Amino acid sequence: MSRTPSWEEARHDDRRARQWLAGRADGRGVPRQALLELGAAMGALAAAAREREPVAVTADPVGVDPGPAPIVKPLPEALFDRLDTNAEMRWAAMAGQGYVVPTDRFFVRNHTRTPRIDPDDWRLSLFGSGLRGRPGRDRPVEFGVADLRRLPAERITALVECAGNGRRFFDSQQGTPAPGVAWGLGGVGVAHWTGVRLSTVLRRAGLTDAAVDVQPEGLDPEYVTGGVNLGRVRRPLPLRKALDDVLLAYAMNDEPLPADHGFPVRLVVPGWIGISSIKWVGPVEVSAAPLFSPWNTRFYRMFGPGHAAAGDPLTAQSVKSAFALPWDARVPVGAEVLLHGRSWSGNGPIREVRVDTGDGWRPADLVAADAGGPWQRWTAVWRPPAPGRHHLRARATDVTGAGQPDRAAPNALGYLFDGVVRHPVTAV
Ligand SMILES: Nc1nc2c(c(=O)[nH]1)N[C@H]1C(S)=C(S)[C@@H](COP(=O)(O)O)O[C@H]1N2
Ligand SMILES: [Mo]
C-alpha cells in the first residue's frame, strides 16, 4: 500500500484554505446559511477557539417519534460503551482476538443515524467539472451495486479511526477538556475491506486532467447543529489521495457491509482520519475547482494555540497504544500476567513499542506476523508486586519516527490525541 506523505496533503489543504479565504471557493451544495456560518468560523481565530463540536444531534422536532435507534446492530455492554449516537469498542473485547476487529464489536461513529438503504435503488452518482462533459448533479454518471461488483475487486486490511479517538484523555489526564464525543481509546478498528478502487471508478466515469478534488457524500440524514442544517455528511479528498489507495468497499471481514458501517457501499481511506471514509456514499462530486464542506473547514481541523488562524488541516491519524484490558481491571498479586495490547499510526507501520508497569520502560514483544500492517499486536509479562492501584503505560514509535509524548499538545476540538495513556489496574 503506497502512502502519500502527509505534508504534501497539508500543503494541498493549506492552498485550499487560502483559496477559500480569498473567496474563490466553490460553495455549491452548501446551504447559504451554512456558508455564512462557515465564513464566520473561518474568518476569526476567536470564533474558532470558541467553536464547539456538538455531541447530541438530531433533526427530529421534540415530541416526534424518533424512529429507529441511531445504530442498528446489538450493542452489548461487554463489547461497547454507548456515546450518544455512537458506540465505542471496549478494549477488553479485543483480548484473545485475531488481527482484525470482529464486525460485532467494531466501533460506530454516526453523525445522525444509520439509514436503511435498498441496494436495488442505490446508485453511486458521479458528477462535476472534473469529469468529461462536466455532467451536472442532475445528470450524473451512475454505477449500481452490480456494476461495481463487475469491476476488478481488491481486498485490503485497513484501519478506520475517529480523529477524536482518545479525546477524553485531554480532560482526564491533562486538564484541558475538549468538546465533542468523549472517546476513550476504542474509536478505532482494523478490518478486511473488499471493493473496487475509487481510481477505477473515477477513470470509468471520465476523469479529466482538470480534476483536483473528489467529494463523496453520505445518504444518512442531513446534519443539523446549532439550528443550522449543514447538509449531508461530506468531506473533499485531494485527487492525489483519491487516486492512491482509496477503496469503495462493499464487504467488511468478508461479509456484505453491515448497515452501520455503510451498506451498501462506503469509502475506506487508509491512514486518514475516520471522517474521510464516508459511509453510505451516494453522490460523488469530481471537481476542477477546490471543494469545501463544514467537515474540512469547521470540523476536523486543528484550531488553537500553535495553529493557523484558519486552522490546520487534518489528514493522517496519530500514534496510539492500548491495552486489551478492562479499565480498572483486577489482576492477581504475585502471579505472572501476560499483558496484551496494540499500537497503531496513520503514518505507516509501528516500529517499536515500550511498556512501563511502574518500574521503568522496557521493550514489549511484538507479534512478528503483524510487521508492516496497519496495527501491531504486542505482549509484555508483568508480576504485580503489591496489592493496590497500579498504572500501565505503553508508547509506540512508527516508521516515520513519530512517537507518543507524555502529554499531547491540546487543540480546541480535541483531535489526534497521541499522549501516553495511564491505564489503571488494581492488584488484589
Ligand atoms: N455518511 C457518513 N459517513 C461517515 C460518518 C457519518 O456520520 N456519516 N462518520 C464518519 C466518522 S467521523 C468516522 S470516525 C467513520 C466511522 O466509521 P464506522 O462507523 O464504520 O466505524 O465513519 C465516517 N463516515
Ligand atoms: Mo470520526
DSSP 204-216: HTTB-TT--EEEE
- The fraction of the chain above a pLDDT of 70, given in percent, is 84
pLDDT (0 to 100) of residue 14 = 57
Strands, E assignment, 257-368:
266-268, 281-287, 301-302, 312-313, 320-323, 329-331, 337-344, 350-356, 361-363, 365-366
Q: Give pLDDT, residue 13.
A: 55
Please give the average per-residue pLDDT across 239-248, as a whole number.
98
Confidence of residue 196 (pLDDT cuts 50, 70, 90): very high
Candidate from 83, 122, 233 with most ligand 1 atoms within 8 A of CB, to mutate: 233
Task: Specify the pairing of strand 281-287 against strand 124-127.
Answer: parallel
- Cβ–Cβ under 8 Å, residues 81 and 90: yes
Higher pLDDT, 65 or 322: 322
Statement: residue 202 has pLDDT above 90: yes
Give 82's strand partners.
87
pLDDT tens digits for range 344-384: 999 999 999 999 999 999 999 999 999 999 999 999 999 99
Which of 20-34, 43-57, 141-155 is the least confident region? 43-57
> Tell me, what's the pLDDT at 15?
62
Q: Which residue is listed with cell 503483524?
A: 370
Phi, psi (degrees; rounded to nearest 5) at 295: -85, -5
Q: How far is the CA of 161 from the centre of ligand 1 (A)?
A: 9
Instruction: Write out the H or E segment, with its range, that includes residue 6.
Output: helix 6-21
In the chain, the percentage of residues whose pLDDT exceeds 90 is: 84
**CB half-sphere exposure, 22, CA atoms < 13 A:** 8
How far is C-alpha 193 from the chain's CA centre?
15
User: Ligand 2: distance of its center to the CA of 330 in Å?
Assistant: 31
For residue 164, the ligand 1 atom closest to its alpha carbon is: 14
User: Among the CATH numbers 2.60.40.650, 3.40.50.300, 3.30.1490.20, 1.10.268.10, which is that of 320-427?
Assistant: 2.60.40.650
CA distance 164 to 182: 8
Q: Which residues surround ligand 2, an ion (CB under 5 A)?
A: 109, 162, 274-275
> For atom 10 of ligand 1, which residue has the closest CA?
275
- Residue 107 CA, closest ligand 1 atom number: 21
* Cα 273 to ligand 1 centre (Å): 10
Spacing, Cα 133 to ligand 1 middle (Å): 32
Distance from Cα 106 to the centre of ligand 2, integer Å: 13
Q: Which of 108, 247, 279 to mutate to test the pocket of ligand 1 (most atoms within 8 A of CB)?
A: 279
* C-beta separation of 381 from 337 below 8 A: yes
What is the reported pLDDT for 18? Answer: 59
| Residue of higher predicted confidence among 15 and 361 | 361
**For residue 10, pLDDT beyond 90:** no
Whole-number Å distance, alpha carbon 173 to ligand 1 midpoint, is 27
Mean pLDDT, all residues of the chain: 89
- Hey, where are the domains in the chain? 62-289, 320-427
Ligand 1 nearest atom to the CA of residue 220, by list position: 1
Nearest CA to ligand 1 atom 19: 108
Q: Is the pLDDT of residue 31 over 70?
A: no
Quick one: pLDDT band at residue 42, thresholds 50, 70, 90? very low
Q: CA 357, CA 417: separation in Å to the nearest integer?
A: 21
Tell the residue nearest (CA) to atom 12 of ligand 1. Answer: 275
| Matching fold, domains 62-289 and 320-427 | no
Burial of 198 (0-12, 13-18, 19+ CB in 10 A): buried
Q: Ligand 1 atom 23: the closest Cα is on which residue?
A: 275
Pocket of ligand 1 (CB under 6 A): 106-111, 160, 162, 218, 220, 233, 261, 274-275, 277-280
Q: 157: part of which helix (H) or strand (E)? A: strand 154-161
pLDDT at 19 over 70: no
Answer yes or no: is pLDDT of 53 > 50.
Answer: no
CATH architecture of 62-289: Alpha-Beta Complex (3.90)
pLDDT of residue 228: 95
Separation between Cα atoms, residue 200 and residue 248, nearest integer Å: 10
Distance (angstroms) between ligand 2 centre and the Cα of 331 equals 33
The answer to whether 357 and 390 are in contact (CB under 8 A) is yes
Prior bond of 264 cis (ω within 30°): yes
Q: What is the CA 374 to chain-centroid distance, rounded?
A: 14
Residues 302 and 320: beta-carbon distance below 8 Å: no
108: nearest Cα among 77, 72, 78: 72
Ligand of minimum distance to the alpha carbon of 283: 1
Ligand 1 center to residue 274 CA distance, Å? 6
- Of all protein residues, the one whose alpha carbon is nearest to atom 15 of ligand 1 is 274
Q: Relative to the alpha carbon of 267, which ligand is closest? A: 1
State the ligand closest to the CA atom of 266: 1
Distance CA 17, CA 15 (A): 5
Q: Per-residue pLDDT averaged across 130-145, rounded?
A: 98
Question: Given ligand 1 and candidates 277, 293, 296, which is best to mutate, with the most ligand atoms within 8 Å of its CB?
Answer: 277
Residue 27 has pLDDT above 60, yes or no: no
Task: Please answer whether residues 352 and 402 qualify as being in contact, where contact means their C-beta atoms are separated by less than 8 angstroms.
Answer: no
Q: To which H or E segment does residue 38 belong?
A: helix 32-43
- The Cα–Cα gap between 257 and 261 comes to 6
Angle, CA of 326, 328 and 334, to the nearest 5° = 100
Give residue for cell 451498506. 263
Is it the case that residue 129 has pLDDT exceeding 70? yes
Q: Provide mean pLDDT across the span 49-78.
A: 61
Q: Which three cell numbers stand for residue 132?
A: 468529461
Longest Cα separation, the chain: 73
Q: Relative to the CA of 300, which ligand 1 atom is closest?
A: 12
Q: Output the CA–CA distances (angstroms, integers) from residue 118 to 114, 123, 259, 276, in the order listed.
A: 13, 10, 11, 24
